[in-house]
Amino acid sequence: MGIADSPEAVATAGATTSPRADPDLNHTLRRRPSAGTVAEFDSLNDLVRDSGVDDSVGAKIGGGGDNGRIGGSDGSAESVNAVQDKKGLGENDRAADPSAAKFTYRPSVPAHRRVKESPLSSDAIFRQSHAGLINLCIVVLVAVNSRLIIENLMKYGWLIKTGFWFSSRSLRDWPLFMCGLTLPIFPLAAFVVEKLVQQKCISEAAVVSLHIVITTTSILYPVVVILRCDSAVLFGVALMLFACIVWLKLVSYVHTNYDMRALHKAVEKGDATPSSLNTEYPHSNNLKNLAYFMVAPTLCYQTSYPRTACVRKGWVFRQLVKLIIFTGVMGFIVEQYINPIVKNSKHPLKGDWLYAIERVLKLSVPNLYVWLCMFYCFFHLWLNILAELLCFGDREFYKDWWNAKTVEEYWRMWNMPVHKWMVRHIYFPCLRHGVPKGVAIVIAFLVSAVFHELCIAVPCHIFKLWAFIGIMFQVPLVLITNYLQNKFRNSMVGNMIFWFIFCILGQPMCLLLYYHDLMNRKGKLD
C-alpha cells in the first residue's frame, strides 16, 4: 500500500475513490439520517471539526455535494434538516437508513493534521483561558481558610476586643486630630504666594524660598506633634499619610504653576507658541481649583480634569458597604491571626534562624491577605468612591500589577497616583537637567524610601531605617528581574521573585522587626 505525501492527499484519495467504486455504497450514502441519530451526528461533526477536516473533505467523503455533509459548515443537525427540507424530504425519508452515520467519517481520514501545543505547555499557557482553574483556586481558598478560621476559634476563642475600634485612649489623640485639621493652612499659604507672584509683588527667588519653607513645614509639623505625643501607632500612621499627601500635592501645585509661568513668559516674548494652557494660566489659578485638587484622588495638579456627568448614588452606597465589609475582614485577620503570631515570636535577627524562617512563613499568609484587602479597600473602593462624589473622570488608580514580569513594572503599575507624580516631578525633571536614567530611577526610589520611613518610623518612635532599607533594596531587584526578563523572554520569573520577596518575605520580616523594636522601646520606657 502506498502512503501519500500529505494528510490532505490521503483524505482526498480515500474520500473520492471509494463511493464511485461501489454503486450500492454510493446509494447508501445518499440516504438521509433519522432523527434518532442527531446526537451521533453532533459527535461525529465535533470529531471531524477537531481533526481539522474541512467541509470540502466531508463532502468528498459523502460522495460530493450536500448529500455527504453533516450539518453544513457549522456542523449542526439543524443545517442537515434545512438542506433536506429544501429538497422536499420529510421525516419519513430521514429515517429511511439509520446506518448512514457510519460512513460519514472514514478511517482513512487523518486525525492529526496540524502542529499543536498542549494547553499547559510553556508556549501556550498564557494564550489559554484559565477561568476554571481560577474557580478551583477560589473554592480551595474558601475551604482551607474556613477550616483555619474554625480551628483558630476553637483553639484560641474570640480574640477581638471591644477596644479595637474605639477606646478611651483614642480620646487622648486629640493633638493629632487637631494637627490634621490645621494642615489645610499650608495649601492656603501656597495659594497666597502664587497670587503675590502673579501680581508681581515678589520676585521668583522669593517665591521659591517661600514655597520651600511652606512645604518643609507641612511635613515637619506633623512629625513634631507625633513625636511629642504618646499617641496610638494607628493614629500616627494615618496623620503621617495625610501629611505626606498634602506635601506631594503642594509640590505638584508649586511645580506646575512655576512651569506655567515660565511658558506664559515665553509666549509673551515670542519664544513659544500659545496654547490653551498658556492663555488660561493667570485666570485658572484660583482658590476653587486648588480646593478641588486638594480633595481629588490625584497628586498631580492641573487647571482642569476629565469629569463625569453625574453621581451614581446607588453605586456609591454599594461601594461603601463593600468598604465596611473588607475593613472588618482586615480587622478580624489582624486581631485574630497576626497579633497572636507576632506576640508569640522572637526577634527575627536575635535567635534561631530556622525558627525565624518558620515565624516569617507563618505570618506571610495572613499578612498577604491584609495587604490585598488594604489595596482593594483604598485603591479600588475608597478612591473610586471619592472620584464618584467629585465627578472625577480619570480613575486609573492602578493597573494589572499582579501580572508584572519585573519589579520595575510593579512599581509602575500598582500605585498610579504616586507613579504619575514621580514621573512628572522627579524623573523627567532629572532627565531634562542631564541626569542619567539610572540615577534618576535611584533618586525616585530614594524619595519613596524617605516617605515610607517617615510613615512608619515616626508613629513608632523608632528610627532603625528598616522601611528605608526595604525600599532601596528594590533597586537591585529591578536590575535582577530586568536581566532575567531579557534572558528568558515571555516568562514570569520576575513575577515570582516579586511575589516571594515582597509579599512572602519582605513585609512579614519588616512587621516582626518593627513590632519587637516597638515592644523593646515600651519596655525600656516602663
Mean pLDDT per block of 10 residues along the chain (526 residues) reads: 39 39 42 43 45 42 40 41 44 51 68 82 73 85 84 77 54 75 91 87 86 92 86 82 93 90 77 60 78 92 89 92 90 82 71 76 84 90 93 90 84 90 92 90 91 87 83 86 79 77 76 72 56
The question of whether 452 is a catalytic residue gets the answer: yes
Same domain? For 351 and 443 the reply is yes
Nearest to 506 by CA among 497, 516, 494, 518: 497
Which domain-ending residue is among 233, 262, 295? 295
C-alpha cell at 445: 526610589
Does residue 84 fall inside a structural domain?
A: no
CB 217 within 8 A of CB 263: no
Same domain? For 187 and 229 the reply is yes
pLDDT score, position 198? 83
Does residue 341 fall inside a structural domain?
A: yes
Residue 262 and residue 95: Cα distance in Å, rounded? 87
pLDDT score, position 321? 94
pLDDT score, position 347? 67
Q: What are phi and psi of 167, to 5 degrees?
A: -145, 170
Q: What are phi and psi of 283, to 5 degrees?
A: -90, -25
3-class SS of residue 188: helix
Residues 153-200: pLDDT tens digits?
A: 887 777 776 554 445 555 566 778 888 888 899 999 999 998 888 888
Per the structure, the complete domain to which residue 247 belongs is given by 174-295
Does residue 122 fall inside a structural domain?
A: no
Residue 63 and residue 47: Cα distance in Å, rounded? 19
Same domain? For 350 and 229 the reply is no
Number of structural domains the chain divides into: 2
Nearest to 19 by CA among 51, 58, 50: 58
Does residue 51 fall inside a structural domain?
A: no
Same domain? For 240 and 336 the reply is no
SS (H, E, C) 73-121: HHCCHHHHHHHHHHCCCCHHHHCCCHHHHHHCCCCCCCCCCCCCCCCCC
| DSSP string covering 193-249 | HHHHHHTTSS-HHHHHHHHHHHHHHHHHHHHHHHHHS---HHHHHHHHHHHHHHHHH
Phi-psi region of 157 (alpha: psi -120 to 50; beta: other; left: phi over 0): left
Same domain? For 358 and 222 the reply is no
For residue 392, the cross-strand partners are 307
Same domain? For 229 and 363 the reply is no
pLDDT score, position 382? 93
Does residue 113 fall inside a structural domain?
A: no
Does residue 399 fall inside a structural domain?
A: yes
3-class SS of residue 392: strand
C-alpha cell at 44: 461525529
End-to-end CA distance of the chain, in Å? 97
Does residue 132 fall inside a structural domain?
A: no
Only one residue has cell 424530504, namely 89
Same domain? For 272 and 405 the reply is no
Among 255, 452, 461, 516, the active-site one is 452
pLDDT score, position 171? 58
Whole-prediction pTM value?
Answer: 0.70
157 vs 118, 148, 326, 333, CA distance in Å?
Answer: 49, 13, 22, 14
Does residue 156 fall inside a structural domain?
A: no
C-alpha cell at 389: 462624589
Residue 477 and residue 402: Cα distance in Å, rounded? 17
Same domain? For 485 and 450 the reply is yes
Those residues whose C-beta lies under 8 Å from the C-beta of residue 282, and which sit 6 or more positions away, are 198, 264
Same domain? For 335 and 407 the reply is yes
Q: What beta strand segments (E) does 139-180 contain?
A: none
Same domain? For 420 and 356 the reply is yes
For residue 307, the cross-strand partners are 392
Same domain? For 249 and 326 the reply is no
C-alpha cell at 352: 534561631
Only one residue has cell 487637631, namely 178
Same domain? For 354 and 212 the reply is no
